[in-house]
A and B are shown apart, each in its own frame.
Chain A
Amino acid sequence: MIPAAQSPLVVEDLDVRIGPVDVVRDLNLAVGRGEFWGLLGPNGVGKTTLLKTFAGVFEPERGGISLDGKRMDERRRRDIARRLGMLPQHTHYAFDATCLETALVGRHPHIKPWARESRADHERARDALADLEMLELAGRSCMDLSGGESRRLALATLLVQDPQVMLLDEPTNHLDPANQVTILNVLHRQVVEARKSAVMALHEVNLATCYCSHVLLLYGNGEWDAGPTDELLTAENLSRLYRCRVRLIDDGRQRVFAVAGGFDRQTR
């Protein structure tokens, strides 16, 4: 168990249920430094709930999660927030702060309750906004943003929080390809260059093949598969995962998965 001991996020014998629905049974997982995990599964299979369990905000039925070698439930929220951050599926802003102020909120767990953000914290927030091509929006209200901008701002807040473990709940949902690539490139750089660990729920299989080093597949009924992307992402596994026929198209430069039409000649 030496590699597991070094992994920032270790999941042991985890059972997660939402009411009568099994999300995972007996999940064992070690997310190491520099690993970018994709979390794939059909709608309603419990991807968000599993991420929330990893973040310590949803109680599992059984099993435990360790963060940097210490059980999550023995850590205080503030202590967890310095090491682990999550990009929720939806962010909703009720009051109009500027984008810079919104991103600065990410420093919250790192500074004493009564202290103010330092110059370095401001620098960090500006850098995060610049990474996501939002620096010119720094003074704009967070309520006046488009869908893509709003998503990038939420990610900027996470980058400012600067946790070792990043949990990402569909960071590219509803975004155009340019926004998707901007966001995923930034995340990929964080994982590869800064040796962070990431677990990302997403629906676009082909983005997972491009960016993720490992994948965790949730089939439903508590069944799962985890391992390197190349081994697990096959047409067979994906057909089982999404309960529809998925074909692999390989032109020699890129492997692309496509849904085989339900009424084409092959299925008849």
Chain B
Amino acid sequence: MASAPVTKTLIAWAGLLLLPPAAVLLAASWGSGGWAWPFAADEAMQRVIGELRIPRAIAALVTGALLAQAGCLMQVLLRNPLADPYVLGLSGGAAAFALIGMSFGLSFLPVPVLAFGGALLTMIIVFVLARGRGPWSTTRVLLTGVVVAAGWGAVISLILATGSDASLRSMLYWLMGDLSYTSLSAWWLLPLAAGVGLLWLRARSLNVLSGGELQAALLGESARTRFWEIYVIASLLTALAVSLAGAIGFVGLIVPHLMRLLVGADHRVLLPASALFGGGFLVLADTAARSLLGPRQLPVGVLTALIGVPLFLLLLYRAARIR
């Protein structure tokens, strides 16, 4: 009877490994101008594919993978399956900074740099305030993060209410998560793979840490140090993703859940599976976002939420285990 799960696992992994290249191929061949097979296109089309579609697809792939990894880590950190990369206010800080830049037209500071700075600042604020004097406390970290996020939310509303109409549209797009102005060369896949590999080496520790601080200490982890390490790594991954593409929602929440159902809760398989699926999923969503109503472009965050919300509600409804 052992062969049935093995076959299922093989099929799942074959699908996961094929998803990112298949998604990038689709992204290369589908656009607002209709379909074009990328290997037999004319010269103008080749340029569109090579200079616009592929770099954007790579950016989507990297962003999706980063968000999915950060989601897995945050869920372990807060021991809460409903945590996502933005729960501790990182996206709020990034958005507030990015919007200030757009609203005052700070052209000498590019928006991604501002966003990254805002996310880092939030990370430090939450770190300092949540550290307190006692032991690591999930509740304190969560409360600090949620309140800081609420504070940034107010700042964002203030900027939107007082900002000029001309910049409003680009601000809204940024808030919803948008890959229109983002492109990365394929070389960025190498550091991404290296990062996922490094995390994977420590994945068994994540299994132990998801049992809580006491359990982790009793099984030989320096739990407090380890939790702050995870906090910093997850925050950096999120800050990178947010500065690339704005606050794309639901990828970091849904992908780890789907993958837990597919490959199980062991982080040694969960992390790589989430990276592959998160990346592939965001490439597909972004391709749809720029092609469905083409030549108009939708912010990809709208599509991930439109797919993500019903999917997540269905999961929540069906999974009696999420208590």
The interface of chain A, by Cβ under 8 A from chain B, is 52, 55, 57, 76-82, 85-86, 88, 91-98, 101, 105-106, 108-109, 111, 113-114, 116, 141, 143-144, 161
Contacts and interface: CB of A to CB of B under 8 A. Distances in A.
Given A105-B207, A108-B208, A95 B218 contact: no
A81 B41 CA distance: 62
15 contacts: A57-B217, A76-B220, A77-B220, A77-B221, A85-B218, A86-B218, A88-B214, A91-B215, A92-B212, A95-B75, A106-B219, A108-B207, A108-B220, A113-B205, A143-B321
Nearest to A115: B204
Contacts of B264: 97-98, 101
A97 B217 contact: no
A57 B205 CA distance: 18
A108 B265 contact: no
A111 B219 CA distance: 11
Contact of B220 (A80, A88, A101, A144): A80
Contacts of A96: 260, 265, 321
Given A95-B265, A97-B266, A109 B211 contact: no
A60 to B, nearest CB: 16
Interface of B: 75, 79-81, 201-202, 204-205, 207-208, 210-212, 214-215, 217-222, 260, 264-266, 268, 321, 323
Contact of B202 (A91, A98, A113, A116): A113
Nearest to A81: B220
B79 A94 contact: yes
A32 B215 CA distance: 25
Given A95-B210, A141-B321, A143-B321, A81 B201 contact: no
Contacts of A78: 220-221
A79 B222 CA distance: 11
Contacts of B221: 77-78, 108
Contact of A82 (B201, B220, B222): B220
A85 B268 CA distance: 24
B201 A95 contact: no
B136 to A, nearest CB: 12
B220 A91 contact: no
Contacts, number: 79
Contacts of B205: 108, 113
Given A94-B79, A97-B265, A105 B217 contact: no
Given A94-B81, A94-B210, A57 B204 contact: no
Contact of A144 (B79, B80, B321): B321
Contacts of A76: 220
B260 A109 contact: no
Nearest to A98: B264
Nearest to A82: B220
B219 A81 contact: yes
Contacts of A55: 217-218
Most chain A CB within a 10 A radius of its CB, from B202, B205, B208: B208
A144 B323 CA distance: 11
Nearest to B270: A95
A108 B211 CA distance: 12
Contacts of B219: 81, 85, 105-106, 108-109, 161
Contacts of A77: 217, 220-222
B220 A105 contact: no
B153 to A, nearest CB: 27
Given A78-B220, A105-B208, A105-B219, 18 more contacts: A57-B217, A57-B218, A77-B220, A79-B220, A81-B220, A85-B219, A88-B214, A88-B218, A97-B264, A97-B266, A98-B264, A101-B207, A108-B205, A108-B207, A109-B219, A113-B202, A143-B323, A144-B321
Q: Which 7 interchain pairs have the tightest Cβ spacing?
A: A81-B220, A109-B220, A78-B220, A95-B265, A94-B79, A97-B265, A114-B201
Most chain A CB within a 10 A radius of its CB, from B75, B218, B221: B218
Nearest to A85: B218
Nearest to B207: A105
B201 A113 contact: yes
B202 to A, nearest CB: 6
B112 to A, nearest CB: 33
B254 to A, nearest CB: 15
A135 to B, nearest CB: 15
Contacts of B268: 116
Nearest to B205: A113
A116 B207 CA distance: 13
Nearest to A88: B214
A98 B210 CA distance: 14
A67 to B, nearest CB: 13
